[in-house]
Amino acid sequence: MSPARPPVSDARVSAPPVSPVPVTLTGSRPRNRQKPPRHLADLDLATRRAVVADLGEPSFRAVQLSRHFFGRYTEHPDDMTDLPRGSRAALAGALLPPLLTAERELSCDDGTTRKTLWRGFDGALVESVLMRYPDRVTMCVSSQAGCGMACPFCATGQAGLTRNLSTAEIVAQVVAGARALARGEVPAGPGRVSANDPSAPPRVSNVVFMGMGEPLANYANVVAAVRRLTEPLPEGMGISQRSVTVSTVGLVPAINRLAAEDLSVTLAVSLHAPDDELRDTLVPVNRRWPVAEVLAAAWDYAAVTGRRVSIEYALIRDINDQAWRADLLGSLLAGHLAHVNLIPLNPTPGSKWTASRPAAQREFVRRLESRGVPVTVRDTRGREIDGACGQLAARARP
């Protein structure tokens, strides 16, 4: 952090003051009392084979179990009829312990958006959101219970961090979505299906790490989850790496590490302001890694992976939606492998902020486009069920 930069309390924000929030950086240690039970999705296939062999079973049972979990989404050991009846309980007990229990499901958008509240082995609560579109299905998953990044406009940030999710707890959210689709529980909704075979059961095509938590603050488990999700059966679930997006507040060392992983996942950076003065207040971790450093890491990521970086920008009325900020953002991004995803601010409890006026949003888009920066405005799927960006707070009772 540059010592010349003003403390946050001096920031002149041309808007309602932001209450000072403690900077909780990546060092925020989850109070990890007990680890979630070991599950086959935590392990590579060779280790799964070794666990099975230790039980005195032939090691190919590891492949059978893996196909049940990643490919058939089988829930109950009794349904694993290709395993000897007498071995099912022991095998499932060792490699398929229950991890997340669905506590509540909420749907909207004619049932095509569905938010699930999950309870972990220790009572920790997380949420995931499935969004079915005519041509794809996106699962938005949580990487942590709560979040330590304390962004004041995000509901998850308000309650702080409870703990990291394990690799398997992350993967299990996607498998649960795939199971719901395979069982026909998620309607297709209106709109034409452009798939080659419209009668084929829908699959989870995209995964976004945009639920609760800061994925890069739970680095090892998130990267392992990406590998499990994208490795082909029986090692993993076989989703394309290019259809996975990891979103971050901008933890620069972790972005650099991710670039070196040899993964083709999309990086999304939650920028929300082009200037440090405002970003220090909206994304407190900016005081540690300011805009210039975050963008430099993003351009390195784009250069190494060849993937266009997605710049997330929640448009907040009279806070970050001024024309001059659009111009500044445009000048920072022009000529880079970047795409701006504008998110009309979703309401969160206790926040006085609201989405930008339509005219301000249109002008923001126009100014970015005039500099040749590609822009899209994200839909507000899931708003009515508090399932949209920044609304996941995982309360047991609504």
Q: Is the peptide bond before 290 cis (omega within 30 degrees of 0)?
A: no
Out of 24, 113, 158, 270, point to the residue binding ligand SAH (CB under 6 A).
Answer: 270
Q: Which stretch binds ligand SAH (CB under 6 A): 55-63, 77-85, 185-193, 246-254?
A: 246-254
Q: Which stretch binds ligand SAH (CB under 6 A): 15-23, 56-64, 88-96, 145-153?
A: 145-153
Residue numbers 18-77 binding ligand SAH by CB under 6 A = none
- Cite the beta strand spans of the chain per DSSP E: 101-108, 113-119, 125-132, 137-140, 144-146, 161-164, 206-209, 244-248, 266-270, 309-315, 338-344, 375-377
Q: Please provide the size of the chain in residues.
A: 398
**Is residue 161 within the footprint of ligand SAH (CB under 6 A)?**
no
**Is residue 247 within the footprint of ligand SAH (CB under 6 A)?**
yes
Cβ neighbours of residue 324 closer than 8 Å, sequence gap 6 or more: none
> Nearest residue to ligand SAH, using CB?
390
Please check whether residue 387 is in contact with residue 113, taking contact to mean a CB–CB distance below 8 angstroms: yes
Report, in Å, the least distance between residue 146 CB and ligand SAH. Answer: 11
What is the Cα–Cα distance from 181 to 171, expressed in whole angstroms? 16
User: Does residue 147 carry a catalytic annotation?
Assistant: no
User: Does residue 185 carry a catalytic annotation?
Assistant: no
Residue numbers 197-226 binding ligand SAH by CB under 6 A = 210, 214
What is the Cα–Cα distance from 317 to 15, expressed in whole angstroms? 9
Q: How many residues bind ligand SAH (CB under 6 A)?
A: 19
Out of 338, 390, 393, 394, point to the residue binding ligand SAH (CB under 6 A).
Answer: 390
Is 74 or 143 the residue whose CB approaches ligand SAH more closely? 143
Q: Which residues of 200-230 are buried (b: 16+ CB within 10 A; e: fewer)?
A: eebebbbbbbbbbbbbbbbbebbbbbbbbbb
Report, in Å, the least distance between residue 215 CB and ligand SAH. Answer: 6
Q: Which of 127, 169, 214, 312 is catalytic?
A: 127
Q: Is 302 helix (H, G, I), strand (E, B) or coil?
A: helix
Q: What is the 3-state secondary structure (H, E, C) of 12-59?
A: CCCCCCCCCCCCCCCCCCCCCCCCCCCCHHHCCHHHHHHHHHHCCCCC
Out of 311, 345, 385, 394, point to the residue binding ligand SAH (CB under 6 A).
Answer: 345
Is 286 or 346 the residue whose CB approaches ligand SAH more closely? 346
Q: Which stretch binds ligand SAH (CB under 6 A): 117-125, 128-136, 150-158, 331-339?
A: 150-158
Report, in Å, the least distance between residue 216 CB and ligand SAH. Answer: 8
Phi-psi region of 6 (alpha: psi -120 to 50; beta: other; left: phi over 0): beta
CA 169 to chain centroid, in Å, comes to 13
Residue numbers 294-313 binding ligand SAH by CB under 6 A = 312
**Is residue 138 within the footprint of ligand SAH (CB under 6 A)?**
no
**Is residue 346 within the footprint of ligand SAH (CB under 6 A)?**
yes
Q: Is 3 helix (H, G, I), strand (E, B) or coil?
A: coil
Tokens read off for 200: 């084929």
Q: Is 187 helix (H, G, I), strand (E, B) or coil?
A: coil
Out of 153, 289, 301, 364, point to the residue binding ligand SAH (CB under 6 A).
Answer: 153
**Is residue 389 within the footprint of ligand SAH (CB under 6 A)?**
yes
What is the Cα–Cα distance from 250 to 310, expressed in whole angstroms? 12
CA distances, 287 to each of 3, 29, 207, 280 (Å): 10, 19, 29, 6
Report, in Å, the least distance between residue 162 CB and ligand SAH. Answer: 14
Report, in Å, the least distance between residue 204 CB and ligand SAH. Answer: 18
Q: Which of 140, 147, 151, 389 is catalytic?
A: 389
- Cite the beta strand spans of 174-227 per DSSP E: 206-209
Q: Is 368 helix (H, G, I), strand (E, B) or coil?
A: helix
Report, in Å, the least distance between residue 86 CB and ligand SAH. Answer: 45
**Is residue 348 within the footprint of ligand SAH (CB under 6 A)?**
yes
**Is residue 284 within the footprint of ligand SAH (CB under 6 A)?**
no
Out of 162, 164, 248, 356, point to the residue binding ligand SAH (CB under 6 A).
Answer: 248
Any idea which residues carry the catalytic annotation?
Answer: 127, 389
Residues that bind ligand SAH (CB under 6 A): 147, 149, 151, 153-154, 210, 214, 247-249, 270, 312, 314, 343, 345-346, 348, 389-390
